[in-house]
Amino acid sequence: MDSNSKHPSICLLTETFYPLTGGGETQARVLALGLARRGFEVTLLTRRTDSQLPRVSTSDDVVIRRLGPTGTAHLNKWGLLLTAPVELFRRRRDFDVLLVCGYRVLGIPAMIVSLLTGKPCILKADSLGEHSGAFFDPGLRKFRLSHDSWPVRLIIRIRNRLFSRAAACVAISSAVEDELRTVGVSEQQIIGIPNSVDTDAFQPAGPDKRALVREKLEIQSHRPVAVFTGRLVTTKGLPMLLRAWQRVVDSVPDALLILVGSGGLGLQNCEAELRGFVDRHDLGDNVRFTGSVEDVRDYLRAADVFVFPSRRESFGISVAEAMACGLPVIASQIPGVGDVVVPEVTSRVFPAHNQDALTKAILSLLKDRALRRKMGVAGRQRAESRFSENQVIDRYASLISGLVEGHEATWK
């Protein structure tokens, strides 16, 4: 680190980035901008997913460098194994520490450069299965393989030997912590820091504001509204949600479900399947698709309940955002979400995969305004006390400064 610099300089790596607006992309952006505001010099490396995006740009003092391969093809991300290490090594004097957000691909080049240069590297998993290899199972199934198949297991073991040299592994939830321990990551390496929510930006709307938002979004004031925000992928439990919603509509004919988001670039994109279900079952008046949305806050403020039937989560950031907006939550009972909600205080939870329980949970909240209000207030309080952006960024700032100072002392 330059002795004249107040803070270490950071190279943050993430596979995809804004204008894509999934949870991982959003958290990477929050981290980059938050650390830059605290005086860190931040460069962000990502893949150029669209040829219209500039190769180099600046956003609020963060330098963004986009690498090839360019385009949306799913396998393009693996090209980063070639382009990222070249760029990192070429710019090795421009950073003091590497921070990898989602290290399933970028963890390998980052760790190679870390070991070659003596710069500390922090690995942060955005999804469950990144360290164990289970994350790759959907793609491996096409070859009749899984992360437990012996050739894949061998590759994962060699890769994880490299990851064992990381300065720290950030766990965003207890589910991620458990995975890291299971695969042998040392307790000294595991640092628990949750994802964050901008609780100043995500706030409840009063009655007047809510009425204006509904008018803007063309939602009638009397309609009961449930909302989901996130990628439209099968692991979010959305096919089951639509089947449950069909039964909700039988009981509450004017109920409206808003699915905020798009299918994205992954293999589990189910947007076309969902739209087809709505068309086949004549649910067009009761289900609305928004497509990709940069700012989800108006949809949260217009809703009565938030529904999140995900089957697998590392951290339910969409849930935390909904709670910050004062919405009661209906969520599947899974570990990543369990760190965010408090059953029967902020939320109604149901066993994952249980369609009947999901239907009952939705109906119970849509029909109980007092309970919705009580849970919404409790959710807002929890979001402020546990997941505020400032608290989370401060913890990263302390971690990064401490690791860089420790490495400098060791290498002197």
Residue-wise pLDDT tens digits, 160-190: 999 999 999 999 999 999 999 999 999 999 9
- The verdict on residue 223 lying in a domain is yes
Tell me, yes or no, whether 219 and 319 share the same domain: yes
pLDDT in tens, 222-273: 999 999 999 899 999 999 999 999 999 999 999 999 999 988 767 789 999 9
Burial of 369 (0-12, 13-18, 19+ CB in 10 A): exposed
Query: What domain count does the chain have?
Result: 2
Tell me, yes or no, whether 290 and 379 share the same domain: yes
CATH number assigned to the domain comprising residue 381:
3.40.50.2000
Compute the average pLDDT of residues 15-34: 88
Domain containing 51 equals 9-196+388-411
Which string of DSSP letters, residue by residue, matches 171-193?
ESSHHHHHHHHHTT--TTTEEE-
Tell me, yes or no, whether 355 and 303 share the same domain: yes
Tell me, yes or no, whether 377 and 399 share the same domain: no
Tell me, yes or no, whether 398 and 376 share the same domain: no
Q: What tokens appear for 229 in the block?
A: 């925000």
Compute the average pLDDT of residues 123-128: 93
Q: pLDDT grade, residue 141 (50/70/90)? A: confident
User: Is residue 194 scored above 70 in pLDDT?
Assistant: yes
Q: pLDDT grade, residue 26 (50/70/90)? A: confident
Tell me, yes or no, whether 148 and 224 share the same domain: no
- The verdict on residue 201 lying in a domain is no
Nearest to 397 by CA among 109, 38, 78: 38
- The verdict on residue 81 lying in a domain is yes
Tell me, yes or no, whether 42 and 179 share the same domain: yes
- The verdict on residue 149 lying in a domain is yes
The pLDDT value given to residue 385: 92
Report yes or no: 9 and 96 within 8 Å, Cβ to Cβ: yes
Q: Return the amino acid letter for 350.
A: F
- The verdict on residue 326 lying in a domain is yes
- The verdict on residue 3 lying in a domain is no
User: Is residue 24 scored above 70 in pLDDT?
Assistant: yes
User: Is residue 288 scored above 90 in pLDDT?
Assistant: yes
| % of the chain residues with pLDDT over 70 | 96
Tell me, yes or no, whether 393 and 382 share the same domain: no
Q: pLDDT grade, residue 408 (50/70/90)? A: low
Tell me, yes or no, whether 221 and 369 share the same domain: yes
- The verdict on residue 2 lying in a domain is no
User: Is residue 137 scored above 90 in pLDDT?
Assistant: no
The pLDDT value given to residue 407: 59
Tell me, yes or no, whether 255 and 362 share the same domain: yes
Q: Average per-residue pLDDT in the chain?
A: 92
pTM summary value: 0.84
- The verdict on residue 215 lying in a domain is yes
Report yes or no: 123 and 97 within 8 Å, Cβ to Cβ: no
Report yes or no: 10 and 99 within 8 Å, Cβ to Cβ: yes
Tell me, yes or no, whether 39 and 89 share the same domain: yes
Tell me, yes or no, whether 163 and 233 share the same domain: no
pLDDT in tens, 83-96: 999 999 999 999 99
